[in-house]
């Protein structure tokens, strides 16, 4: 879901643009740049390019209602929330420019399709680490597959509510025609996230900052 320029009032777009810039400033300050080696930075850039490709494979149903994979859960699990926030902004700006669109609505796009799923994925990771066994099946199923799918559903719901509250589309259109497709798309998001994280953990574990070998793979009695 992404919003074209002019869909929302100018004041709304500018407000969310300002909030995005403020949040990105906090993200820049929170990233431990000195601890990032070249391979991790290259992975960060490569992941942004791949996610941007996902955003170009889209189908627009009505103004403000489009269907495509997000990839935000992958960015969050790979990079952590702060780098993921920065990556999301660059992905959305790049996607808008590639379509010849305006950067004005990027702030609202970033909040709904970036910040919401990123913070949900980070919150789900915190909950599983605190309350569930330190098992890699928990990581793949709950943090990658399940959180990836639910993050898509939550982003779709947030976008539907924004369009409905603004009166851009009727609630019947949003909940009867748009929301069911976001729910179906969440299964693709879940499968893609789970598969990508499984591949990365096996072949490039250094690129996944949220997967700790000492936590998930240490010899221990079965905790299930």
Terminal Cα distance for the chain, rounded: 39
Report whether pLDDT(222) > 70.
Answer: no
Say which range, 177-186, 191-200, 214-223, has the weakest mean pLDDT: 214-223
Instruction: Give me the half-sphere count of Cα atoms (radius 13 Å) on the Cβ side of residue 162.
Output: 24
Task: Return the number of other C-beta atoms located less than 10 Å from residue 138's C-beta.
Answer: 16
Q: Is the pTM of this model over 0.85?
A: yes
- Report pLDDT for 224: 39
Average pLDDT over residues 42-48: 89
| Strand-strand pairing, 65-67 and 59-62 | antiparallel
Please name each of the domains of the chain with its CATH number: 10-216 (1.10.1760.20)
Question: Between residues 63 and 20, which one has the greater pLDDT?
Answer: 20
Report whether pLDDT(42) > 60.
Answer: yes
Q: What is the pLDDT of residues 103-153, one digit of tens each?
A: 999 999 999 999 999 999 999 999 999 999 888 889 999 999 999 999 999
Spatial separation of the C-alpha atoms in residues 150 and 121, rounded to whole Å: 9
Question: What's the token pair of residue 173?
Answer: 């259109």
Q: What is the mean pLDDT of the chain?
A: 90
Q: 68 with 54: CB under 8 angstroms?
A: yes
Q: 149 with 189: CB under 8 angstroms?
A: yes
């Amino acid at each position: 879901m992404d919003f074209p320029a002019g869909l929302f009032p100018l004041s709304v777009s500018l407000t969310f643009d300002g909030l995005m810039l403020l949040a990105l400033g906090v993200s820049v300050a929170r990233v431990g740049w000195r601890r990032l080696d070249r391979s991790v930075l290259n992975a960060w850039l490569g992941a942004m390019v791949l996610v941007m490709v996902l955003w170009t494979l889209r189908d627009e149903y009505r103004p403000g209602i489009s269907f495509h994979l997000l990839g935000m859960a992958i960015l969050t699990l790979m990079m952590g929330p702060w780098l993921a926030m920065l990556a999301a902004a660059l992905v959305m700006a790049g996607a808008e420019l590639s379509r010849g669109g305006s950067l004005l609505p990027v702030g609202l796009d970033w909040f709904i399709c970036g910040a919401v799923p990123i913070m949900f994925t980070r919150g789900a990771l915190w909950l599983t680490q605190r309350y569930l066994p330190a098992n890699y099946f928990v990581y793949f199923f709950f943090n990658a597959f399940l959180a990836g799918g639910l993050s898509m559903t939550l982003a779709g719901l947030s976008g539907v509510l924004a369009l409905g509250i603004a009166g851009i589309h009727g609630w019947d259109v949003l909940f009867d025609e748009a929301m069911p497709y976001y729910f179906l798309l969440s299964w693709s998001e879940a499968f893609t996230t789970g598969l990508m994280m499984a591949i990365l953990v096996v072949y490039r574990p250094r690129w996944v900052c949220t997967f700790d070998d000492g936590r998930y793979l240490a010899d221990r009695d079965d905790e299930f």
